[in-house]
Amino acid sequence: MKYFLAIFLLAFTLHSAQTKRFFYDLKYKSDSTQEDYRKKIMVLDINPNETKYYDYSFLEKDSLNKATNQTNTSWTDQIPVIRKKNSGQNINFQRVEFQIYSFPTTDKVNWKLSQETKKYAEYTIQKATTNFGGREWTAWFTKEIPLSEGPYKFTGLPGLVVLLKDSNDQFDFSLVKSINLPETYDTSNILEVRYGNSPLSITEKKFTAKKIEYFNDPFHEMREKLRDGTTKSFDNNGVRYTSSTDLIPKIKEEQEYILRHNNPIELNKAIKYSVK
């Protein structure tokens, strides 16, 4: 992983690759009060007809599964998205407990261009600002990579987004590497479908309702199975639960965790949970 953290941008060839893959170092705070950043490598695949943004761990897990002939899965607290070329129409992938959901959103990013420029690696990058998702953002893009794309939903600039940060320093993206792939990379088994498990397609409003439903009653299904004897025990993080009442402290712990880590990249979509 350290390999990706060095600034090592490979030569960009516009016409030779079917997938142009860009790696971004993401530093973020899922809890806005925390001092230290969490870190991830995020992937931006720009294909002839669509763009895909997802966690690098998906590729790591897929590579391991292929080597060991397994179908283990992982997930991320960062929202993967897919969109058609030159479109603000995004398909979002999110999870509640064990179920993954997908839902469409229309996301327009209105940029204000600045004439300010600077150097980053071998590129000249230009400044742009926007208000999006309840945050103020500063982006630096380069016309030397003539792709109107960027991480997450940040599209629409006259060049690729290289650096991106919100004004509260809670999300910070840096481009660290790029590669060209000879064929369009197939993510259908790690993103659109996860080893045969298709996400449930719903609306964003219904997904929010699912999140609230889970917060109000975490581990509901497992508690019912323990209560009626369908399941004799339930293991979670090395702890074994054998009765529904054993889960009561775990329920409170889960709710407290959700409240602390309620700092999404689109802050205006942070759910206002009702604490009883």
Instruction: Give the mean model confidence (pLDDT) for residues 107-118.
Output: 97
Query: Confidence band (pLDDT; 50, 70, 90) for 70?
Result: confident
Q: Which CATH class is domain 2-192?
A: mainly beta
pLDDT value, residue 184: 94
pLDDT value, residue 16: 52
Between vectors from CA 231 to CA 226 and to CA 234, what angle results, nearest 5°? 75
Please, are residues 118 and 107 in contact by the beta-carbon 8 Å criterion? Answer: no
Strand boundaries in 56-170, DSSP class E: 81-84, 89-96, 99-106, 112-120, 123-132, 135-142, 160-166
Contacts of 261 (CB under 8 A, 6+ apart): 30, 31, 77
Helices (H), the chain: 2-5, 56-68, 204-216, 220-228, 248-260
Q: 147 or 249: which carries more pLDDT confidence?
A: 147
pLDDT value, residue 15: 52
Q: 234 or 42: which carries more pLDDT confidence?
A: 42
Closest C-alpha among 4, 197, 214 to residue 96: 214
Contacts of 171 (CB under 8 A, 6+ apart): 26, 27, 28, 29, 135, 164, 165, 265
Query: Confidence band (pLDDT; 50, 70, 90) for 142?
Result: very high
Other C-beta atoms within 10 Å of 32: how many? 13
pLDDT value, residue 2: 39
CA distance 216 to 211: 9
Structure tokens at 136: 């103020």
Whether 1 has a pLDDT exceeding 50, the answer reads no
Name the segment(s) of the chain with CATH classification 2.50.20: 2-192
Q: 274 or 26: which carries more pLDDT confidence?
A: 26
pLDDT value, residue 31: 92
Question: Could you tell me whether strands 8-9 and 171-181 are parallel, antiparallel, or unpaired per DSSP bridges?
Answer: parallel
Instruction: Give the mean model confidence (pLDDT) for residues 23-34.
Output: 94
Other C-beta atoms within 10 Å of 223: how many? 22
pLDDT value, residue 17: 62
Instruction: Give the mean model confidence (pLDDT) for residues 62-84.
Output: 85
Instruction: Give the mean model confidence (pLDDT) for residues 229-249.
Output: 80
Mean pLDDT of the chain: 89
Instruction: Give the mean model confidence (pLDDT) for residues 75-103.
Output: 93
DSSP H or E stretch at residue 38: strand 38-46
pLDDT value, residue 5: 36
Instruction: Give the mean model confidence (pLDDT) for residues 8-34.
Output: 78
CA distance 28 to 215: 23
Closest C-alpha among 165, 169, 135 to residue 150: 165
